[in-house]
């Protein structure tokens, strides 16, 4: 179990000190998602095949904008596009980004291309949710993998159909946000909690020396800004304040990978756990039955079924008052419980009321 140095013991509940900027955000100051569609050229025969129609249509439209008209060409259906690939682009426009700033772009194949290695992304507009163009992307791709094939053999490393263009997009339109005109600011907690919201408001008022903050609910704290006050300076002061937080006890379970993460604030109640296993294996073998010589019988396939059972003895774990998560994990390891067994046991403990924590299943 790992505890941060800032964690101290206060009565029966653990208190953690954290900066406001790490546990909350300013309402309205947010990132914006961008998306686009374009083509990557310069591939070495690893692009989209002729079975994928839209890369060819994209290429024809691009060439038409360049002054090359292929709409009436009789060889249009025979064009090969193995050296290009249709891709989707995604990027994040940060808050306060201005025209001329550069942002990273993630490029992913939209067709059946085998690899984007060595490709060049042509000029592609990036759109926001409102349909407006906020950035333009172009540049060479950087991949963390490759795919090489010859004579039916294929060698692939990592994921060669997704790459990045570092600083590949230039911002063309800014999202309007004027802090100077905002007379009321709101801080939004990442994890809703009434006590943390009250402690945050009290800490802000104590550090600033005036009734600046007020907790509206379990997630929102409002700041009353004076007409002549410098908002960026105020936010810089507020975000650096350390407050006492009371994180919610949580157990996170990933049933697909068998991963279990138990927080340090999880409490256990007295409980007895009986855990055993019964495995039943049914094996069917098919044997061929041949008729005797000069008989009128026919060849038949006869299934031979064998059932094997194995019942393991029940393992018992007893947790007394004040038991810790360390003791639970240690006892589960001693009985040889697998990750799947631990997940089942934790779910049963939650249903029995012996696990005082939020159980989140991914």
pTM of the model: 0.67
Residue 12: burial class (beta carbons within 10 Å; 0-12, 13-18, 19+): exposed
Same domain for 285 and 298, yes or no, is yes
Buried b (16+ CB within 10 A) or exposed e, 254-275: eeeeeebebbbbbebeebebeb
Q: Do 201 and 285 belong to one domain?
A: no
The helix/strand count (H/E) of the chain reads as 6, 24
Identify whether residues 209 and 127 lie together within a single domain.
no
Any domain includes 317 = yes
96 membership: H or E segment, kind and range: none
In the listed set 171, 202, 236, which residue is the last one of a domain according to the structure? Answer: 171
Q: What angle do CA 154, 155, 157 make, to 5 degrees?
A: 140
266 and 299: one domain? yes
Residue 214 zone, left/alpha/beta (φ > 0; ψ -120 to 50; rest): beta
Same domain, 39 and 20: no
Position 286 in a domain: yes
Handedness of CA 152, 155, 160, 166 (dihedral sign): negative
Q: Domain range spanning residue 208?
A: 8-29+178-245
Cβ contact 121:36 at 8 Å? no
The DSSP-derived string for 166-216 is: EEEEEE-SPPP--GGG-SEEEEEESS--HHHHHHHHHHHHHHHTS--EEE-
Computed from CA positions of residues 184, 188, 189, 193, in that sequence, does the dihedral angle turn out positive or negative?
Answer: positive
Domain count, the chain: 3
Verify that 25 and 36 share a domain, yes or no.
Answer: no
Handedness of CA 346, 349, 353, 356 (dihedral sign): negative
- Residue 3 counted as domain residue: no
* Shared-domain flag, residues 119 and 42: yes
Strand partners, 358: 250
CATH no. for residue 219? 3.90.1150
Per-residue model confidence (pLDDT) at position 123: 92
Domain's final residue, options 245, 268, 303:
245
* Spatial contact of 175 and 98, defined as CB atoms under 8 Å apart: no
Other CB atoms within 10 A of residue 1 CB: 10
262 and 203 within one domain: no
Q: What is the CA radius of gyration of the chain?
A: 31
Q: What is the pLDDT of residue 10?
A: 36
Question: 2 lies in a domain?
Answer: no
What is the full per-residue pLDDT of the chain (362 aa) written as tens digits? 333 333 333 334 556 788 999 999 998 888 999 999 999 998 888 888 877 777 777 777 777 777 777 666 666 666 677 888 999 999 999 988 999 999 999 999 988 888 888 899 999 999 999 999 999 999 999 887 666 666 556 666 667 889 999 999 999 998 888 777 777 889 999 988 899 999 999 999 999 888 989 999 989 999 988 888 888 888 999 999 999 887 777 888 887 777 778 776 777 777 777 766 544 455 556 676 777 776 666 777 767 666 665 556 666 777 777 677 767 777 777 777 777 777 777 788 788 777 778 888 77
Claim to verify: residue 233 and residue 342 sit in the same structural domain: no
Q: Which residue has the tokens 């801080």?
A: 187
Closest CA to 231 of 174, 189, 184: 184
Q: Are residues 40 and 159 in the same domain?
A: yes
Does 43 share its domain with 161? Answer: yes
Query: For the segment 253-286, what is each residue's pLDDT rounded down to a tens digit?
Result: 887 777 778 776 777 777 777 766 544 455 556 6
Domain match, 263 and 335 both = yes
Which of 171, 200, 219 is the last residue in one of the domains?
A: 171
Residue 346 lies in a domain: yes
DSSP string, 268-331: E--EEEEE--EEEEEEEEEEEEPPPTT-S---EEEEEEEEEEEEPPPEEEEE-TT--HHHHHHH
d(CA 236, CA 232): 6
Chain centroid to CA 24:
20
Structure confidence at residue 12 (pLDDT): 43
């Amino acid at each position: 179990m790992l505890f941060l140095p800032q964690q101290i013991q206060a009565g029966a509940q653990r208190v953690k000190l954290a900066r406001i900027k790490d546990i909350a955000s300013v309402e309205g100051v947010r990132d914006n998602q961008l998306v686009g569609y374009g083509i990557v050229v310069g591939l070495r025969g690893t692009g989209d095949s002729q079975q994928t129609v839209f890369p060819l249509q994209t290429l024809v439209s691009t060439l038409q904008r360049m002054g090359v008209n292929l709409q009436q060409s009789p060889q249009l259906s025979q064009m090969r596009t193995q050296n290009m690939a249709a891709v989707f682009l995604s990027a994040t426009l940060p808050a306060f980004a201005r025209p001329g700033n550069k942002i990273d772009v993630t490029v992913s194949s939209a067709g059946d291309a085998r690899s984007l290695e060595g490709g060049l992304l042509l000029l592609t507009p990036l759109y926001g949710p409102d349909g407006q163009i906020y950035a333009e992307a172009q540049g060479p791709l950087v991949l963390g993998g490759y795919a090489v094939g010859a004579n039916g053999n294929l060698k692939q490393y990592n994921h060669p159909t997704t790459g990045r263009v570092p600083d590949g997009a230039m911002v063309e339109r800014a999202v309007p946000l004027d802090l100077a005109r905002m007379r009321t600011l709101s801080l939004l907690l990442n994890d809703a909690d009434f006590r943390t919201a009250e402690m945050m408001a009290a800490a802000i008022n104590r550090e600033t020396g005036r009734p600046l903050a007020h907790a509206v609910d379990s997630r929102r704290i409002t700041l009353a800004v004076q007409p002549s006050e410098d908002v960026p300076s105020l936010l810089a002061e507020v975000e650096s304040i350390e407050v006492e937080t009371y994180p919610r006890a949580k157990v996170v379970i990933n049933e697909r990978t068998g991963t279990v993460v138990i927080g340090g604030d999880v409490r256990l109640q007295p409980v007895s756990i009986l855990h055993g296993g019964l495995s039943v294996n049914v094996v069917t073998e098919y044997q061929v039955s041949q008729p005797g010589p000069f008989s009128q019988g026919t060849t038949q396939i006869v299934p031979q079924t064998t059932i094997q059972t194995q019942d393991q003895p029940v393992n018992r774990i007893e947790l007394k008052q004040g038991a810790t998560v360390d003791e639970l994990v240690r006892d589960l390891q001693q009985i040889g419980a697998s990750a799947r067994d631990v997940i089942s046991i934790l779910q049963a403990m939650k249903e029995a009321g012996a696990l005082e924590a939020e159980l989140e299943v991914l």
